[in-house]
Structure 1
């Protein structure tokens, strides 16, 4: 089943998989990309969860009438609209959120913001929002990856680096879509607008230490975009002590590169997040 959710940035496509009575799970992808990036792990996730896969504005089947206006903060608002639509149209009141890169940033913001009561757990996969703002990082985000003329030459080699060994059909399909990006002016404009937003002084998770939901933090040891030794360590220090932390022998998208290993850690956590998260006790009643 497919839903379309109107947002200020465009119409968001949401694909729905799994049985209606199963626990709900929302998948948020990286920039660039679309919901198909999760295809290698989707069958296993949807076998156990009612899984909702989002395409960010301008990607996949979602629209972006003004692509230059798509920002990380706009993605947060778009995701809030998706949660509202799921509650109204699908009866989803509680949901776990799995996000990669900028999708991981949005997942954190949902859990600390106005929709926090509906978020039951977080799976953060190499999330954005933990990079230290410096003159170099701001320049790279704004003037290199944020400018179509420059990003057009870099997006394909960068994708080749962050996707790792391309040893799975899913990773090869994701790379094939990335190779089309330089020739797609609208998608490239979205890609660059999101990168420019990463340089905003206010970009970042406001206070991750106060997140009171179970959290699984997965980080690729070979990630060239948000390195484990820098951004990963900052995330470990910033997130609550009850966070389950796992370092994987992958690059930026472990669900693409090593879907078997990704599921080995993710499925047990999602089955009962409260049992897996050390020392965390429910702050609100759990629904069975």
Structure 2
């Protein structure tokens, strides 16, 4: 069951949003990526709910949240996030976003900086464009073809270990197995046609948005966490963002791909915990603790852990 055993629902803009709200302390908001769900954060929720108030949600059209009418858009996802936080009486958060969730987190840091305390981008989309075959296919191929391609992909990949990395997984463990099982289960959804329409719409949105030109406007403390083996959004994207975002830190996780929080949860949690401790100490007026907790990263704040 993972986080779903404590899941709740609320309606935001006509969409039923599934979420969890666990723990006490500074608020940490977790935002999953394309085709994912809050289960992409299971070990993160388990770890940080001991010291933080952790909020995680299934974005509209993902997981157990309902599918909205119309097309996906970053503003639509942002309204769902902001609406949920407002419903919960939360004004400011540290936010961690993976893949498309990172793109959404960047958007919020740019357009609603007042609500962001600290920003954690995990193998994030939105930092580069896709001009090659993938971008061309998403723009030009009919949606029905893309639906068939994705359904074939999720049916085949979980069965063959050499293909796991293509699905964003590097290590097969209890957490990544859930991710692969959820992908395989896509074809069994009773609303599979509508879901796939939304998936394709979300993919086109996520791969069509690039904030690289605006990264200099991000003013919140920023940690970039990247799986060294990510094939979809390679480490060089994180390195580029690290140069563009003022004062950011980059942590590269070995033996991890597109979801390092699942591949290497202990290393991931340790990196994020140290970063948040520094930011929270500053917010609480304890600069000496902030200096002790600060991510130690030479060479333009780049660090490999593990």
TM bucket normalised to smaller: 0.7 to 0.9
- Asked whether the equivalents of residues 127 and 210 of structure 2 are also in contact (C-alpha less than 8 Å), the reply is no
Aligned to 1:173: 178
Conserved? CA contact 2:126–2:207, under 8 Å? no
Q: Equivalents in 1 of 2:34, 2:62: separation in Å?
A: 9
State how far apart, in whole Å, the 2-side matches of 1:48 and 1:2 are.
19
What's the RMSD between the two structures over aligned residues?
2.4
1 CA distance for matches of 2:140 and 2:50? 43
Kindly report which structure 2 residues correspond to 1:109-258, keeping only aligned pairs within 5 A, or say none.
109-113=107-111, 115-134=112-131, 136-143=133-140, 147-156=146-155, 157=157, 160-161=164-165, 162-184=167-189, 185=192, 186-200=194-208, 203-204=210-211, 207-229=214-236, 231-240=237-246, 242-249=247-254, 250-258=256-264
Q: CA deviation at 1:260?
A: 0.8
2:94 & 2:38 partners in 1: Cα distance?
Answer: 16
- Contact 1:3–1:14, Cα closer than 8 Å, also in 2: yes
Write out aligned runs for 1:54-69 (5 A): 54-66=57-69, 69=71
Given candidates 91, 94, 103, the residue that maps to 2:92 is: 94
Distance in 2 (alpha carbons) for counterparts of 1:182 and 1:269 = 39
8 Å contact from structure 1 (residues 24, 49) kept in 2: yes
State which drifts further: 179-188 or 211-220.
179-188
Does structure 2 retain, via aligned residues, the 8 Å contact 1:164–1:251? Answer: yes
Cα distance in 2 for residues equivalent to 1:167 and 1:61: 24
Q: d(CA) in 1 for partners of 2:141 and 2:243?
A: 29
2-structure distance, mates of 1:257, 1:163 = 9
| 1:49 partnered with 2:52 | yes
The verdict on how the C-alpha distance between 1:140 and 1:219 changes in structure 2, with shifts beyond 3 A counting, is: farther
Q: Does 1:14 align with 2:19?
A: yes
* Residue segments in structure 2 that go unaligned for 5+ positions in a row: 1-5, 283-289, 297-306
Q: Normalized per residue, which structure has more helix?
A: 2
Q: What is the TM-score with the length of structure 2 in the denominator?
A: 0.79
Correspondence for 1:104? 102
Q: Distance in 2 between matches of 1:265 and 1:144?
A: 40
SS of residue in 2 equivalent to 1:272: helix
1:96 touches 1:120 (CA, 8 Å); kept in 2? yes
The number of residue pairs the alignment matches comes to: 267
Displacement after TM superposition at 1:12 (Å): 1.5
Runs of 4+ in structure 1 deviating by more than 6 angstroms, as ranges, are none
TM-score between the two structures when normalised by the length of structure 1 = 0.83
CA–CA distance in 2 between the matches of 1:253 and 1:133? 20
* Change in CA separation of 1:144 and 1:152 when aligned onto 2, cut-off 3 Å: farther
Secondary structure in structure 2 of the residue aligned to 1:16: strand
Q: Deviations over 1:205-262 (max 9, x none)?
A: 6611121111110011111111113x2233223222x101111111000111110111
Partner of 1:81: 83
